[in-house]
């Protein structure tokens, strides 16, 4: 006997309201010392005094680092000089290349651990340290490795020679990547290095030192002294340094240029910026919105080339603001170790205070504040990503480099006005142009006084692509063939 | 002393050595002049002693000219520099005579200096439309982008010429800087005024837009500090500075992160050597601009 | 002259071309693809994905027997696991609509049918409309039409618009999904334009592909279409549904699509009423993932039925 066909039992769709679970990167396998002094002559050395560096997302101390004294700096410079004379200047270029290749490979092999440490010490989202900082750092060594034995082809038959010992001072926003930007070309060109990492983010430099040991880099070829600005000053003013390379604020850059006056030391400066991101009415708007977002919120806005001034053609201002408001609401701010975090922790208490002061100035000067509605963690240094509308060029938030996730939205009517406004700043590091019209893009790009122009893109970096500023954003280039010049004597 | 009427001699028309600013030949606003004498002490001419304000005016003129000069096609800039060489060639006798009469050179040395100066202009003229190719390039970035780097002019450049070689020394530092698309204010010692102003006349008749090159004669100790601290100057080049002057220049330049290029002074015969015309005398006054363009359908 | 969706047909002006930057849209899609969806979020996402599937068979060899098997699977994807929802719909050719309708009766699973000379769209309008009407009469809840790519690529946008508008009418109570066949339009600008055109003409859903042309659905193409839906919603307050179809084969892929909808359009679209996945083998891969979560061991296809 057959049963009658029943109405099948079914289950309804689950209710809406899909929330991502925390997806924390595991920190089980990372290891680091509780205390580091310096790295001199191929060895980790003790310091006379120490300071603590924290995880800005938890405010907990990670480790202690040496506060480099003048004497310790001197030891490091002597080691670099010895490294230059005894080893590096006698290492055939093709062997120098192989060391650098080796370092690139080791960076790739240790990438996960380094990315986690970069995030723990710096506060940047793990997806950025994993997908941007580490791959680019390895790529930088890989790229310059190949130059080491091809320098005679770099500058049209000119004679080239290394400078000697380079003193390098780097900032806290891309600690390992900046170290790579500085060290790779210096070594490829045959120089030796003393590098000082920023006092809030010295951890990955120490891990890089381990990699140099693992790579069997001869002693003294790269030395790290830890410490604050005083250590940096002692380094750049050391009489036995031939070359100084600094990345950081324009204020400190100015001081270094002044201190170096008359010394004959070669100098390159990569300083601040107040990049204009220009959106024309014919732009691919949805992609432009992404470009605006990554332009200012990438790495919490701790980016010297950030697109911190948004110049929108007046006819699409409201449309852009509506989309920005929507996009802001989808940003995920929080634990930098969460793989789904878009905006992480502000690097330090001091930087957070500065950003918050500017949020106040924005309102005070008459602009309208729009902050992401996201919840912020109770501990650590966090700020809601923010843009201001109704900003006038005279407002402090429109003129000063804030170095945080704060965007100033301004308008223009014609391409000519866009160019004039974009150029109306003492800085000249970066600019973005969004338009679907190629000829307009090239015309505007040619008129902008900035070292890096992103057409229909923003915050793209590559080892082969020179980076550096016009005007008060500094001089000299890092990356690409032009990035060799700061580390070579060129005759011809 | 006899008057010309008594001797039947024609009264010579003495040239007034003024300044060259914005394509015009103004007197120094300060009204200061210095009597120049040749080696035997005879009066040659009165030369202008440029003031700080003259420097400022010259910078204004250079700023005004800078953008359109950089914006001209490299081919056109090249032709204009070559035209300046042509103009110089056509005045080689008078330039030579000035070097002899006013600057005490032997005829042979004067001729050699003028010839070398003309050849130097021709050499740099040829660079204008090759710089981008030699100094710029496409970068093979690891992504779907057309990425290129090319050199651009730094902007307004102030130059201080040395003491030793009034014409060739000046041409050797000015030519590479304008060849790269910059506008220049060049300051020479007052004693160089006769040949400097002769050179200004060459430039004034050579299609070079007004303000691209401005020539001043004056005292370096007066003009150098002003230039170093001036906020609308992008770069300064100088020849033959003392250590004190270097410290002053580089220290002052740091206030606005000016590019500074310093070289040693040398004699005309040394300047004439081929190694003093170099691509790497152009590069200190260029900025590399890198641009990214996505490639996608 | 008639009015459709508030637009006078003869007076219809095609939407302005709006640019899409290919590199940037692909970068954004890739970035969204790196979201890490774990544990409860993964489970909930996979269940949601099941409920969004238009379980599809579109073969010349389809028979009533095959369709009945498929319907059974659609209603209860994994017998014994009542936590797993039914799929959103079963999608078949018009002659099999009646079979599916009967098999799914009372289940809440919708019957979707492809029409308008699927997959090529090369046919006479009157015949297309006739097919649509008969298919709806046979019980189809949803019609998946294809646009006339011939007219579109020739620039006759008014013709494409008119056909969609006429099909909306012919659908009566049935919902219309408009297939753009993005693999034949090729550029993102054209996908964007066609999406806007279909929405203007009254589409309830816009859909990427027939599944018969490569490439079918991709994440960046879907993102472009979602962005048009978002813009339309900003402008008019009206929601339009989205259906990527073809080439979505794994649970991981499905979660990527869900992340994209979630972060582009938001919660309101996170339901089978507004988002569907046109797929066949996808369901089994999701079921295997769900079984893996339950068993704590990797699953095998041998424990899952065809379809």
A-chain residue closest to B149, CA distance: A466
DSSP A467: B
The residue segments making up the domain with residue C266 are 14-52+118-303
Q: Which of A51, A25, A21, A56 is nearest to A38 (CA)?
A: A51
CA distance A405 to A12: 42
Question: A234-243, pLDDT tens digit by residue?
Answer: 999 999 999 9
Q: Can you name the residues that pair with A247 across neighbouring β-strands? A: A270
pLDDT tens-digit map of A37-51: 999 999 999 999 999
Domain assignment present for C258: yes
Look at residue B87 in the predicted model and tell me its pLDDT.
98
d(CA B258, CA C304): 73
ipTM above 0.85, yes or no: yes
Predicted confidence pLDDT, tens digits, chain C (307 residues): 456 666 665 566 666 788 999 999 999 999 999 999 999 999 999 999 999 999 999 999 999 999 999 999 999 999 989 999 999 999 999 999 999 999 999 999 999 999 999 999 999 999 999 999 999 999 999 999 999 999 999 999 999 999 999 999 999 999 999 999 999 998 999 999 999 999 999 999 999 999 999 999 999 999 999 999 999 999 999 999 999 999 999 999 999 999 999 999 999 999 999 999 999 999 999 999 999 999 999 999 998 887 6
Could you tell me if residue C71 is inside a domain? no
Query: What are chain B's domains?
Result: 4-292 (3.40.605.10)
pLDDT tens-place string over residues A155-169 = 987 899 999 999 999
> How far is it, in rounded angstroms, from Cα A32 to Cα A47?
17
Q: C-alpha dihedral over B239, B245, B251, B255, to 10 degrees?
A: -70
Chain B closest CA to C25's CA: distance in Å? 10
SS3 content of chain B, % helix, strand, coil (to 5): 45, 20, 30
Contact call for A460 and B145, based on CB within 8 A? yes
User: DSSP 3-state assignment of A333?
Assistant: strand
C248: exposed, middle or buried (C-beta count within 10 Å: 0-12, 13-18, 19+)?
A: buried
Range 148-207 of A in CB contact (< 8 A) with B: 156, 158
On the question of a cis peptide bond just before residue C215, with omega within 30 degrees of 0, the verdict is yes
Please report the residues numbered 437 through 466 in chain A whose beta carbons come closer than 8 angstroms to any beta carbon of chain B. 438, 441, 445, 450-457, 460, 462, 464-466
Burial of C170 (0-12, 13-18, 19+ CB in 10 A): buried
- Which stretches of chain B score pLDDT less than 70? 1-8
C83 within domain boundaries: no
Considering A25, A199, A270, A401, which one is annotated as catalytic?
A270
Instruction: Taking residues A307-326, report their average pLDDT.
Output: 98
User: Which residue is closest to C20 within chain B, CA to CA?
Assistant: B297
Q: Which candidate in C190, C207, C253, C299 is catalytic?
A: C207
In a domain, C205, yes or no: yes
Any chains having at least 3 CB pairs less than 8 A from chain B are: A, C
Neighbours of C178 (CB within 10 A): 29
Annotated catalytic residue A270: yes
- Predicted local confidence at residue B44, as pLDDT: 87
Number of domains in chain C: 1
Q: Is C19 on the interface with A (CB under 8 A)?
A: yes
- Among A139, A257, A477, select the one facing B288 at the smallest CB separation: A477
Contact: A468, B288; criterion CB under 8 Å: yes
CA distances from B78 to A352, B181, B199, C187, C304 (A): 52, 10, 18, 43, 77
Q: Å from A76 to nearest chain C CA? A: 42
CB contact under 8 A, B294 and C188: no
The proportion of chain A whose per-residue pLDDT surpasses 90, expressed as a percent, equals: 95
In a domain, C168, yes or no: yes
Give the other-Cβ count within 10 Å of B16's Cβ. Answer: 14
C128 as an active site residue: the answer is no
pLDDT of residue C93: 98
- Asked if B62 and B68 touch (Cβ cutoff 8 Å), the reply is no
**Rounded-to-integer distance, Cα C293 and Cα C39, Å:** 9
Tell me if B237 sits within 8 A of B156, measured CB to CB. no
All domains in chain A, ordered by first residue: 35-271+471-491 (3.40.605.10), 276-455 (3.40.309.10)
Q: What is the mean pLDDT of residues A429-434?
A: 98
Chain A residue with the nearest C-alpha to that of C228: A286
Name which residue leads in pLDDT, B276 or A323. Answer: A323
- Please give, rounded to a whole number of angstroms, the shortest distance from the CA of C168 to a CA of chain A: 27
Name the minimum distance, in Å, from the CA of B149 to any CA of chain C: 20
Model pLDDT, residue A378: 94
Q: Do C186 and B297 touch (CB under 8 A)?
A: yes
Please tell me the predicted confidence (pLDDT) of residue C1: 45
Q: Measure CB to CB from residue C86 to each of A10, A282, A457 and give the nearest one.
A: A10
Q: What is the CATH number of the domain that holds C153?
A: 3.20.20.70
Q: Does residue C82 lie within any of the structural domains?
A: no
Residues A63-70 have a mean pLDDT of 98
DSSP string, A162-204: E-SEEEEE--SSSHHHHHHHHHHHHHHTT-EEEEE--TT--HH
Nearest beta carbon to residue A286 from set C51, C227, C258: C227
C62 min Cα distance to partner chain A (Å): 23
Instruction: Give the C-alpha separation, B86 to A75, whole Å.
Output: 59
pLDDT at B16: 84
Bridge-based pairing of strands A43-45 and A38-40 is antiparallel
Catalytic residue among A25, A128, A189, A304: A304
- pLDDT(A280) > 90: yes
- d(Cα B51, Cα B190) in Å, to the nearest integer? 12
Q: Which residue of A has its CA nearest to C25?
A: A287
Least confident of A12-21, A170-179, B81-90, C59-68: A12-21
> Which chains, if any, share at least 3 CB pairs under 8 A with chain C?
A, B
């Amino acid at each position: 006997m057959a049963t009658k066909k029943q109405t099948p039992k079914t289950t309804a769709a689950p209710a809406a309201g899909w929330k991502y679970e925390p997806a924390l990167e595991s920190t089980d396998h990372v290891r680091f010392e509780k205390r580091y002094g310096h790295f001199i002559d191929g060895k980790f050395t003790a310091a006379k005094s120490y300071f603590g560096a924290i995880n800005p997302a938890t405010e907990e101390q990670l480790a202690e680092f040496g506060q480099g004294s003048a004497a310790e700096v001197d030891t490091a410079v002597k080691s670099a000089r010895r490294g230059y004379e005894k080893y590096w200047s006698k290492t055939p270029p093709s062997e120098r290349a192989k060391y650098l290749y080796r370092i690139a490979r080791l960076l790739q092999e240790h990438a996960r651990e380094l990315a986690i440490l970069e995030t723990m010490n710096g506060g940047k989202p793990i997806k950025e340290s994993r997908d941007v900082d580490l791959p680019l750092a390895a790529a930088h060594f890989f790229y310059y490795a190949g130059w080491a034995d091809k320098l005679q082809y770099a500058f049209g038959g000119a004679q080239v020679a290394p400078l000697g010992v380079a003193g390098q001072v780097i900032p806290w926003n891309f600690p390992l990547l900046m170290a790579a930007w500085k060290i790779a070309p210096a070594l490829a060109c045959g120089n030796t290095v003393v590098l000082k990492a920023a006092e809030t983010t010295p951890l990955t430099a120490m891990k890089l030192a381990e990699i140099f040991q693992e790579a069997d880099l001869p002693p003294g070829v790269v030395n790290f002294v830890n410490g604050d600005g005083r250590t940096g000053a002692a380094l750049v003013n050391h009489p036995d340094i031939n070359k100084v390379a600094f990345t950081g604020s324009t204020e400190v850059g100015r001081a270094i240029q002044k201190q170096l006056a008359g010394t004959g030391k070669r100098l390159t400066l990569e300083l601040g910026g107040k990049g204009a991101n220009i959106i024309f009415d014919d732009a691919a708007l949805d992609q432009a919105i992404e470009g605006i977002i990554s332009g200012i919120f990438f790495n919490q806005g701790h980016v010297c080339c950030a697109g911190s001034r948004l110049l929108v053609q007046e006819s699409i201002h409201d449309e852009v603001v509506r989309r920005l408001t929507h996009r802001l609401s989808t940003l995920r701010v929080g634990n930098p170790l969460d793989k789904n975090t878009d905006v992480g922790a502000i690097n330090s208490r001091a930087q957070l205070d500065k950003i918050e002061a500017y949020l106040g100035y924005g309102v005070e000067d008459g602009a309208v504040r729009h902050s992401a509605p996201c919840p912020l963690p109770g501990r650590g240094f966090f700020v809601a990503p923010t843009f201001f509308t109704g900003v006038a060029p005279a407002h402090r938030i429109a003129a000063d480099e804030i170095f945080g996730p704060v965007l100033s939205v301004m308008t223009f009517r014609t391409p000519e006005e866009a160019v004039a406004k974009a150029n109306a700043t003492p800085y000249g590091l970066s600019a973005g142009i969004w338009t679907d019209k190629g000829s307009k893009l090239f015309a505007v790009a040619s008129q902008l006084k900035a070292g890096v122009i992103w057409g229909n893109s923003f915050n793209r970096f590559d080892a082969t692509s020179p980076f550096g500023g016009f005007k008060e954003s500094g001089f000299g280039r890092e990356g690409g063939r032009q990035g060799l010049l700061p580390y070579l004597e060129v005759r011809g | 002393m006899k008057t010309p009427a008594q001797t039947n001699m024609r009264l010579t028309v003495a040239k007034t050595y003024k300044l060259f600013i914005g394509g015009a030949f103004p007197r120094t606003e300060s009204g200061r002049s210095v009597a120049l004498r040749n080696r035997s002490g005879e009066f040659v001419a009165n030369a202008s002693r440029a003031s700080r304000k003259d420097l400022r005016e010259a910078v204004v003129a250079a700023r005004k000219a800078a953008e359109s000069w950089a914006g001209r096609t490299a081919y056109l800039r090249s032709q204009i520099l070559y035209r300046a060489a042509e103009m110089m060639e056509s005045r080689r006798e008078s330039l030579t005579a000035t070097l002899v009469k006013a600057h005490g050179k032997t005829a042979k040395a004067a001729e050699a200096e003028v010839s070398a100066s003309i050849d130097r202009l021709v050499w740099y003229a040829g660079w204008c439309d090759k710089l981008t190719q030699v100094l710029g390039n496409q970068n093979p970035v690891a992504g779907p982008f057309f990425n290129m780097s090319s050199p651009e002019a730094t902007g307004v450049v102030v130059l201080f010429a040395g003491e030793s070689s009034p014409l060739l020394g000046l041409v050797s530092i000015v030519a590479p800087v304008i060849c790269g698309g910059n506008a220049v204010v060049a300051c020479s010692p007052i004693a160089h005024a006769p040949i400097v102003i002769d050179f200004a006349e060459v430039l004034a008749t050579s299609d070079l837009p007004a303000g691209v090159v401005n020539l001043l004669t004056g005292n370096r100790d007066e003009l150098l500090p002003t230039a170093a601290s001036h906020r609308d100057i992008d770069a300064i080049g100088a020849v033959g500075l003392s250590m004190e002057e270097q410290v002053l220049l580089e220290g002052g330049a740091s206030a606005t992160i000016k590019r500074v290029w310093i070289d040693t002074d040398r004699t005309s015969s040394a300047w004439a050597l081929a190694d003093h015309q170099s691509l790497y005398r152009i590069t200190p006054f260029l900025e590399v601009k890198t641009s990214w363009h996505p490639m996608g359908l | 002259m008639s009015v459709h969706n508030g637009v006078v047909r003869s007076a219809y002006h095609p939407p302005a071309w709006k640019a899409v930057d290919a590199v940037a849209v692909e970068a954004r899609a890739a970035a969204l693809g790196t979201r890490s969806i774990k544990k409860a979020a993964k489970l909930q996402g996979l269940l949601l994905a099941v409920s969004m599937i238009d379980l599809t068979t579109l073969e010349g060899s389809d028979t009533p027997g095959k369709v009945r098997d498929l319907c059974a699977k659609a209603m209860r994807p994994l017998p014994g696991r009542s936590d797993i929802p039914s799929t959103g719909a079963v999608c078949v050719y018009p002659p099999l609509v009646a079979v599916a309708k009967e098999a799914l009766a009372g289940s809440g699973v919708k019957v979707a049918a492809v029409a308008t000379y699927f997959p090529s769209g090369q046919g006479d309008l009157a015949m297309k409309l006739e097919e649509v009407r008969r298919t709806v009469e046979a019980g189809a809840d949803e019609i998946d039409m294809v646009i006339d790519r011939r007219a579109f690529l020739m620039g006759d946008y008014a013709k494409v618009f008119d056909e969609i508008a006429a099909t909306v009418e012919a659908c009566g109570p049935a919902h219309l999904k408009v297939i753009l066949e993005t693999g034949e339009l090729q550029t993102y600008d054209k996908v964007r334009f066609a999406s806007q055109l279909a929405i203007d003409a009254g589409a309830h859903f816009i859909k990427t592909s027939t599944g018969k042309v490569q490439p079918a659905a991709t994440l960046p193409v879907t993102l472009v279409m979602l962005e048009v839906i978002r813009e339309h919603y900003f402008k008019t307050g009206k929601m339009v549904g989205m259906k990527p179809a073809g080439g979505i084969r794994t649970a991981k892929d499905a979660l990527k699509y869900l992340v994209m909808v979630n972060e582009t359009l938001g919660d309101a679209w996170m339901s089978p009423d507004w988002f569907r996945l046109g797929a066949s083998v996808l369901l089994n891969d999701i079921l295997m993932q769900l079984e893996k979560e339950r068993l704590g061991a990797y699953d095998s296809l041998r424990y899952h039925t065809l379809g």
